[in-house]
Amino acid sequence: MAKHNIDPVLTEIVRNALDAVADEIALIVLRTACSGIVRDSMDYSTAVCDAKGGTLAQGLTTPLHLGSFHDAMQALIRRYEGDVAEKDVFIFNDPYLSAGQHLPDIYIIRPVFVEGTLEAWATTVAHHNDIGGIVPGSNSIGSTDIYQEGLRLPFIKLSSNGVDNQAVLDILSANVRVPEKVLGDLNAQIAATAIGVREIQSLFAKYGKATLRATFAEIHDHAERLARSVIAEIPDGTYRFESWIDGFGENPEPIRFCAAVTVAGDEITVDLDGTSPQVPAGINAPVPFTKAACYAAIRSIMGEEIPNAQGFTRPIHVKAPLGSIVNPRPPGACGARGITGFRTMDTVFGALAQAVPHRVPADGNGGSSIPAIGGEYQGKPFVFVETFMGNWGGSASGDGQEGVTHMGANQSNVPVEMIEAEYPIRIEQYGLVPNTGGPGKYRGGLSMIRDYRFLGDAGTMTLRSDKRRFPPFGLSGGRAGAPCLSIVNPDGEARSLPVLITNPVTLRNGDLFRHVLPGAGGWGNPFERDPECVLEDVKLGKVDREHARLAYGVVITGEPPVVDAEATKKARAA
């Protein structure tokens, strides 16, 4: 860590100003994007980076994106060293050619010049509705290599010193199913980064280059110091955990994740050796994404006062074996790699729970499920993609939440009204499912259910989901949550679907798809749960009386319901 004789008050002012710029970029994307996956699900991210590509501030968006920015920026800077002009705009998406994440995630990056010198970068990445490939939405679990997944973009200048490269947009438009959505979201990113450049330049105009360069360095160093102080409080040792993805296709074979988290003084190493080899399906996670998952898990047990700057990652080391599902060799498919990042986080959480049990919640629903429905309606193609989540597990401080995102995502469920207004889909059920939260002293969050009625002429659907065979685990004596469920036409000729669909499902007009997320795990012994909390759950419809008796040993009688204290005492003793 470098030493700088600068004002700590000024450092805090600048840090907050950079956070505000990153959030402003995020808000502009939100307000100007065209697709539901960006505008409503908020599957995008923004950041401000220093001249060397180190992240200084992150918008309040997706942690699994944000930890990946550094590798992409390093690769971009190496590729264009000495060839970056003030009005350049860069575009890319490829995991192997440009350190991206998966093809639907398109980066738009602008350099920030001050008096002729490159001083910073304004950056965005957004999950686009479609990038071509073999299935609508491009989350092609059935792909066996990246060539099947859509249009690959290496580092390209979308604008070269202010001169637009229309050929790139023409190629993009010709390769995607819904070009008006894709180009609309790209324009949102382009506009947002332009405002980011303007705001960063205004900071340099106010404080000067020398002061801000030193301040940027101090932000990184301060984040590192705080991170090291937190790590130093964790007992030294190696903590191991394993978890699983159910597998893909009609006959899934479980996919193993292993994490050995070693704490030594003020440094921490995550070794993923033993994790399954890469697979011939689109769920391999490029290593920048894997590193981001590990950073996000460890960051979550640190205090909010630590800047979300690259410096906090310096004492964190990630080892991911080449050729594994968490570090695939090209041309491994990775269109639906998000599930692997979520499972990596969950595995690291399981290891951390052994070291700091009161800081880590039980397992949640395992990240978003992504239904992608595409087809034709009234003579025009459409693509509907959403991130459907979620819940958290119980923790030492209380019950798990419902209707919330996985910690690695910070995304949102698309409002019913927005889906029905824009797509030939009607949402006929959306709510919580009783008795599905893992029992514990603190109960896991309940499952959520969503019914999609297809009203189009003809369509296909893919699905990324998980945690049926291996439901969310409990901690400290808590029990697992309920498994996930996916059915087409549950009230007719019902057909159960795999968790990870490799062959797209054909949808006919009037078909109904029902998806139930897994329930989250519980924390602590269920028989230590306060009977009044169980009674409140019964009153709210989150637990029925039979489940209260079987899972918690609490007997509820009467109307209005009350706890039968004597019967409860006997039930728990038995």
Helix/strand/coil (H, E, C) string of 2-40? CCCCCCHHHHHHHHHHHHHHHHHHHHHHHHHCCCHHHHC
CA distances from 440 to 189, 223, 413, 445, 547 (A): 44, 36, 27, 11, 13
* Rounded Cα gap, residues 100 and 492, in angstroms: 43
pLDDT recorded at residue 457: 87
**C-alpha closest to that of 56 among 38, 70, 45:** 70
**C-alpha closest to that of 453 among 419, 496, 500:** 419
pLDDT recorded at residue 458: 87
Sheet holding 425-433, edge to edge: 425-433, 447-454, 512-516, 485-488, 495-496
Residue with tokens 């959520």: 448
Residue 65 CA, chain-centre distance (Å), reads 7
> Which tokens go with 494?
């019902």
As a dihedral over the C-alpha atoms of residue 136, residue 139, residue 141, residue 145, rounded to 10 degrees, the angle is 100
DSSP 8-state assignment for residue 500: B
Residue with tokens 């805090």: 12
> Which tokens go with 146?
């990246």
Residue with tokens 């590192």: 224
pLDDT recorded at residue 38: 96
Judged on CB neighbours under 10 Å (0-12, 13-18, 19+), 384 is: buried
Residue 391 CA, chain-centre distance (Å), reads 13
pLDDT recorded at residue 2: 45
* Rounded Cα gap, residues 313 and 307, in angstroms: 11
Please give the chain's pLDDT, 574 residues, in tens. 445 567 999 999 999 999 999 999 999 999 999 999 999 999 999 999 999 999 999 998 898 887 888 999 999 999 999 999 999 999 999 999 999 999 999 999 999 999 999 999 999 999 999 999 999 999 999 999 999 999 999 999 999 999 999 999 999 999 999 999 999 999 999 999 999 999 999 999 999 999 999 999 999 999 999 999 999 999 999 999 999 999 999 999 999 999 999 999 999 999 999 999 999 999 999 999 999 999 999 999 998 889 999 999 999 999 999 999 999 999 999 999 999 999 999 999 999 999 999 999 999 999 999 999 999 898 899 999 999 998 999 999 999 999 999 989 888 899 999 999 999 999 999 999 999 999 999 999 999 999 999 999 889 999 999 999 999 999 999 999 999 999 999 999 999 999 999 999 999 999 999 999 999 999 999 999 999 999 999 999 999 999 999 999 999 999 999 999 999 999 999 8
Residue 382 CA, chain-centre distance (Å), reads 24
> Are the beta carbons of 367 and 466 closer than 8 angstroms?
yes
* Rounded Cα gap, residues 369 and 385, in angstroms: 10
* Rounded Cα gap, residues 409 and 476, in angstroms: 25
* Rounded Cα gap, residues 574 and 571, in angstroms: 5
In the chain, the amino acid numbered 418 is M
pLDDT recorded at residue 5: 67
Q: Within 13 Å, how many C-alpha atoms sit on residue 363's CB side?
A: 35
> Are the beta carbons of 486 and 250 closer than 8 angstroms?
no
* Rounded Cα gap, residues 296 and 287, in angstroms: 14
Residue 308 CA, chain-centre distance (Å), reads 16
